[in-house]
A = this chain, B = another copy of it.
């Protein structure tokens, strides 16, 4: 809801590592009147891959926004074998929240949203339960109840696809959403569905990780935000954190301590996604600072 006065372009790219790429790209931006506001790059020496994020001011940039991608592809991307995406901060991204019955992640996201912390629109909340409708109403956001389950998944997801299209949703945040998405769903939004799992993955994949953590007697519990892929809890990890527990903590204590972790770890990942600071490659993420 922040009034985004910036007018910048963000280039996210990776390509086989080779000398001179930074020079070529910064020269392209500078020569056309762009003022670089952010540049971070990383070279994966083991796999020989170069990753970069550059953001520049468009106010005096000589190439019209709608032609930048085209020019960049012709002039550089083809030549260097780049995989790239250029986006524009003038266009605010649109995010849908999927939620089931728990409110802590939902409130954390909506509180940041109305405080203007994030440059994003949240026009839609979808749930398989009516419980969180009261929260959506507090924030005046449409809340659609789609009672999806194992047996009606195809039909229910069809309704969800219509809603996501109708609201022009760019990416989806699963804020403790307790239904598994179909492969079809996941493939429509590659690297655009962010989930929070309540363990330090890869430990305790699947259901009831706090129970499993309690049974194993660990001294730390964690939370992991990741992009959803078709393999359960196995997508590219964006962010993780932990909190210390002791033998005194019951499963209820783990659930309570975990809630604070979950909401913070999920919101950190959502923020990085909104800022277009995440690149994925080979089921891993590059998260720029």
CB <8 Å contact, B283 and A217: yes
Which of A73-81, A170-178, A181-189, A241-249 contacts the other chain? A241-249
CB <8 Å contact, B35 and A19: yes
On chain B, the residues within 8 Å of A222 by CB distance are 200, 220
CB <8 Å contact, B240 and A218: yes
**If the complex has contacts A139-B138, A237-B219, are A41 and B39 also in contact, measured as CB distance less than 8 A?**
yes
Contact partner of A117 among B46, B115, B256, CB < 8 A? B256
**If the complex has contacts A19-B36, A104-B115, A111-B107, are A42 and B200 also in contact, measured as CB distance less than 8 A?**
no
We find that the number of chain A residues with CB closer than 8 angstroms to chain B is 63
Give the secondary structure class of A's interface.
Answer: mixed
Q: Which of A15-52 contact B (CB under 8 A)?
A: 19-20, 22-23, 26-27, 30, 35-37, 39, 41-42, 44-46
A226-245 vs B: 1/0 string, CB under 8 Å? 00000000001111111010
Can you list 10 residue pairs at the A/B interface with Cβ under 8 Å? A20-B26, A22-B26, A44-B247, A104-B115, A219-B237, A220-B222, A242-B242, A247-B287, A260-B264, A264-B264
